[in-house]
Amino acid sequence: MFAFHKITSNYSSTFDVYQKTLDMKQVLSLLTLMFFFSCGREAQIASPNAIAMGIPSIDFYSLKTKTIDGELFSFSSLKGKRVLIVNTASRCGYTPQYKDLERLYRMYGGDNFTIIGFPSNDFAWEEPGSDQEIAAFCKSRYDVTFPMMTKVKTSGSSGHEVYQWLCNLERNGVADARVSWNFNKFLIDENGRWAAHFQSSTSPMSMEITTFASGK
């Protein structure tokens, strides 16, 4: 009886180990099947395979907009640079992120990295001012020196072409995304490929973003 119990216990222990191993394999398989993204509430991060295999219908460098001063801005000028694109607002709880965006830009901005800000009044009417008023606010409150563009819509069929590209898998070749609030952040790699999308609560000085900005 004792021997039987011992054998049964050993079998049970062996089965438990096997089950745990199987569960781990299932977890690893699930992670592998998450081919395109490491996704969470705060981030969508494209895998290298997703970036390499994605075929955009619209070239990122073909996009155009106007600066906050009304001058034409061609995205072809961004070739070879890693880019952070952020939708901004002057009366938002996240508005103080301007400080860290500027800090990030002063640390890494230059030939290899830049930040592009797009003011938007899409969420709770928190950016009601004109381009001139927004530019004055950014300069006086946060001494912003990174490029700021004209105020745009970020969502829906009337969204600016840059945001149509950022949020549409068919256009960018990598991911669908949704701008959920002010200060969502999109990362574009040095080849003009969609790389990541972060929600408003992700700090510009987070490890993920600073690593991207530094090129490490």
Task: Tell me: do 76 and 23 sit in the same domain.
Answer: no
**Strands across the sheet containing 113-119:** 37-39, 43-46, 194-198, 185-188, 82-88, 113-119
More confidently predicted of 9 and 106: 106
* Mean pLDDT to the nearest integer, 82-102: 98
pLDDT number for residue 88: 98
pLDDT in tens, 56-77: 999 999 999 999 999 999 999 9
Task: Tell me: do 25 and 93 sit in the same domain.
Answer: no
Task: Tell me: do 14 and 115 sit in the same domain.
Answer: no
Global pTM exceeds 0.85: no
**pLDDT classification of 101: cutoffs 50, 70, 90:** very high
Task: Tell me: do 113 and 158 sit in the same domain.
Answer: yes
pLDDT in tens, 112-162: 999 999 999 999 999 999 999 999 999 999 999 999 999 999 988 889 999
CATH of the domain at 205: 3.40.30.10
Q: Which is the catalytic residue, given 39, 92, 138, 167?
A: 92
Does pLDDT of 24 surpass 70? no
**pLDDT classification of 95: cutoffs 50, 70, 90:** very high
Task: Tell me: do 94 and 14 sit in the same domain.
Answer: no
pLDDT number for residue 18: 38
Domain that holds residue 4: 1-33
Question: Two tokens at 61?
Answer: 């460098």
d(CA 149, CA 75): 12
Task: Tell me: do 21 and 66 sit in the same domain.
Answer: no
- Count of domains forming the chain: 2
Q: How far is CA 104 from CA 11, 98, 148, 184, in A?
A: 57, 10, 15, 16
Let me know if 92 is a catalytic residue: yes
Task: Tell me: do 58 and 85 sit in the same domain.
Answer: yes
* Listed range (9-13, 57-61, 169-173) with the worst mean pLDDT: 9-13
pLDDT in tens, 27-46: 333 333 333 333 335 799 99
Question: Two tokens at 164?
Answer: 């149509």
pLDDT in tens, 173-216: 999 999 999 999 999 999 999 999 999 999 999 999 999 999 98
Phi, psi (deg, nearest 5) at residue 199: -75, 175
pLDDT number for residue 23: 52
pLDDT number for residue 186: 98
d(CA 206, CA 204): 6
